[in-house]
Amino acid sequence: MKSTTTLSKFIIESERNFPTATGEFTSILNDVAIACKKLSDLVNMGALAGVLGSAESENVQGEQQKKLDIISNEVFIESIEWSGHFAGMASEEMQDVYAIPKEYPRGRYLITFDPLDGSSNIDVNVSVGTIFSILRCPDDVDQPTAEDFLRPGTEQVCGGYCLYGSSTMLVMTTGNGVNGFTLDRSIGEFILTDRDMKIPEDTREFAINMSNMRHWEAPMRRYIDELVAGKEGVRETDFNMRWIGSMVADVHRLLCRGGLFLYPMDAKLSAQGKEGRLRLLYEANPMSFIVEQAGGLASTGRQRIMEVEPHSLHQRVPVLMGSKNEIQRLVDYHQE
Ligand code: AHG
Ligand code: MN
Ligand code: MN
């Protein structure tokens, strides 16, 4: 019989390599996995569960909330708050830090998350996901405030996402490579299917929302112009384009077969007082951790994303990530 490695088995075996490990991480990731299974089920049921459509409300960032944005935020919190592992949480859907209710013990970790990424795709039955980032809580802090979450991505102890696609996959890193687990619905377990994922250094595929082209900065325009020029242009190669509109799904594709995921700074965003489109703490940082651990690069164009010093909980950043050689070229264009 072929032996399988469940997510729990994988984490327990990985922890054995660290004599000081307490097993706490196994428990944390199990809880996160349970939250993702619940969300996978809700997303999968769609209209049958009555979860589609607008919630007729806005989140802190002035974005229309879907019913499922709110429900998934609640499901995620409810699945992990009781465990005693977390001292506080922050989410895309909540303005302030979420304090752990008094009846539960306080733990040593902080978690930030985007409970439902790509939520504009829910109502049209296209892949969405969940993104999370785990930090250590400063030792002397019992009631973490936003300040305690404002730490560069290099301090993450775990970054991960769950993709609710044609199958449900949990992909994560603790700084020791990237591993992917597929949900086996028949036994309700995530099974290791993609060990030590690596992003090819070269690629001929990119993902960007081209409708923003006229607002981009010069280096970005130059780079995309050259790709679009194809065989007849300076790159002498045809490139292909894909844009799902769910960061999780677009990044998962580049993790599987190489590629670029680009949401650059543009004039429209800066006119709105925004520093980018995607959020640093619960979108850009965990995804950058994964991409770097898989051998890719993640940059704002001017700086490594994971080295950006955060100044606020819902801060945004430009995101250029994916296959190493192409991201390097794009960063070089920004420096010229
Ligand atoms: P969210 O649904 O969590 O707000 O995130 C949506 C993000 C990201 O997933 C996606 O890549 C991007 O927004 C799409 O933006 P555009 O609609 O501007 O293309
Ligand atoms: Mn998102
Ligand atoms: Mn979201």
pLDDT confidence tier of residue 1, bands split at 50, 70 and 90: confident
Rounded distance between C-alpha atoms, residue 234 and residue 237, angstroms:
8
Q: Which ligand is nearest to the CA of 283?
A: 2
State whether 167 and 42 are in the same domain.
Answer: yes
State whether 210 and 188 are in the same domain.
Answer: no
* Ligand 1 site, residue 288, Cβ cutoff 6 A: no
Read off the pLDDT of each residue in 199-212 and give the average, rounded to a whole number.
98
Q: What is the pLDDT of residue 24?
A: 87
Read off the pLDDT of each residue in 207-215 and give the average, rounded to a whole number.
98
* Ligand 1 site, residue 247, Cβ cutoff 6 A: yes
Rounded distance between C-alpha atoms, residue 195 and residue 185, angstroms:
20
State whether 183 and 326 are in the same domain.
Answer: no
State whether 134 and 158 are in the same domain.
Answer: yes
Ligand 2 midpoint to CA 278 (Å): 7
Q: What is the pLDDT of residue 52?
A: 84
How do residues 9-23 score in pLDDT, each as one tens digit?
999 988 888 777 788
- Measuring CA to CA, how many Å separate 210 from each of 206, 237, 243, 245? 11, 19, 9, 12
Which two tokens mark 16?
A: 């054995």
State whether 234 and 108 are in the same domain.
Answer: no
Nearest CA to ligand 1 atom 17: 245
Nearest CA to ligand 1 atom 14: 245
pTM: 0.97
* Ligand 1 site, residue 69, Cβ cutoff 6 A: no
Nearest atom within ligand 1 for CA of residue 119? 2
* Ligand 1 site, residue 93, Cβ cutoff 6 A: no
Q: Which ligand is nearest to the CA of 266?
A: 1
Domain boundary among the residues 144, 173, 194 is at 194
State whether 52 and 179 are in the same domain.
Answer: yes
Q: What is the pLDDT of residue 164?
A: 98
1 domain residue, yes or no: no
* Ligand 1 site, residue 209, Cβ cutoff 6 A: yes
How do residues 240-260 score in pLDDT, each as one tens digit?
999 999 999 999 999 999 999
pLDDT confidence tier of residue 47, bands split at 50, 70 and 90: confident
Read off the pLDDT of each residue in 275-287 and give the average, rounded to a whole number.
98
* Ligand 1 site, residue 115, Cβ cutoff 6 A: no
Q: Which of 184, 186, 178 is closest to 161 using CA atoms?
A: 178
Q: What is the pLDDT of residue 192?
A: 98
Domain that holds residue 86: 7-194
State whether 21 and 158 are in the same domain.
Answer: yes
State whether 209 and 190 are in the same domain.
Answer: no
199 domain residue, yes or no: no
pLDDT confidence tier of residue 39, bands split at 50, 70 and 90: very high
Q: Given a cut of 80, is residue 2 above it in pLDDT?
A: no
